[in-house]
Structure 1
Amino acid sequence: MLSIFITPIVVSKLEAYMTSACLERTGAKTISIDEAAAWLGISRNGAYEAAKRGEIPTIKIGRLLKVPVVPFERMLGLSVSTSAEAA
């Protein structure tokens, strides 16, 4: 069984790579399971298992499984900025 423990060090490293400003530039609203796995520092299979257990927020579009960025950022405790907050 895989458990995900996110330490403050991991969160600070993630903040350096995954910021709302960066995601806004690309316009990404979702990321792949592979990208989520890379950000969490876990294997692809581990990420799919965590998603199956509901530990990683996902949406399913046909056979495609995507991770919505805003809930993923909230799960990690990262600051989430939306266009409504910026206005």
Structure 2
Amino acid sequence: MDEDLMRALREDRGVKATALAKALGLSRVGIYEAVKRGEIQATRIGRRIVIPAHVARRLLGIEMEAA
């Protein structure tokens, strides 16, 4: 898995839609469409779609250790 993605998840930051798509083995368009349908919670920051870390962790099926 991408180191930037793992760092964002550890630091509880938002995750770029493209990074999440790559980690899930999906197309970025597929992620954008799932966001549009409301299947994935996300926030738009300017033109960028950002998925909250807790949502990305759930989709990836991982749990982070408590700090």
TM-score normalised by structure 2 residue count? 0.67
Is residue 51 of structure 1 aligned with residue 35 of structure 2?
Answer: yes
Unaligned 5+ runs, structure 1: 1-16
Q: Does the CA-based 8 Å contact 2:12-2:54 persist in structure 1? A: no
Q: Indicate the residue corresponding to 1:60 in structure 2.
A: 44
What's the CA shift string for 1:3-42, capped at 9, x where partnerless?
A: xxxxxxxxxxxxxx27xxx426x74611211111101111
Higher relative contact order (CA 8 A, sep 6+): 2
Q: 2: CA distance between counterparts of 1:76 and 1:55?
A: 14
Runs of 4+ with deviation above 6 angstroms: none
Unaligned 5+ runs, structure 2: none
> How many pairs are equivalent?
64
Larger Rg: 1 or 2? 1
SS of equivalent residue, structure 1 residue 39: helix
Match of 2:7 among 14, 23, 44: 23
TM-score normalised by structure 1 residue count? 0.55
Q: Does the CA-based 8 Å contact 1:31-1:67 persist in structure 2? A: yes
Q: 2: CA distance between counterparts of 1:60 and 1:66?
A: 6
Which has the larger share of helix?
1
Q: 2: CA distance between counterparts of 1:75 and 1:61?
A: 21
1:45, CA displacement in angstroms? Answer: 1.0
Q: 1: CA distance between counterparts of 2:43 and 2:7?
A: 18
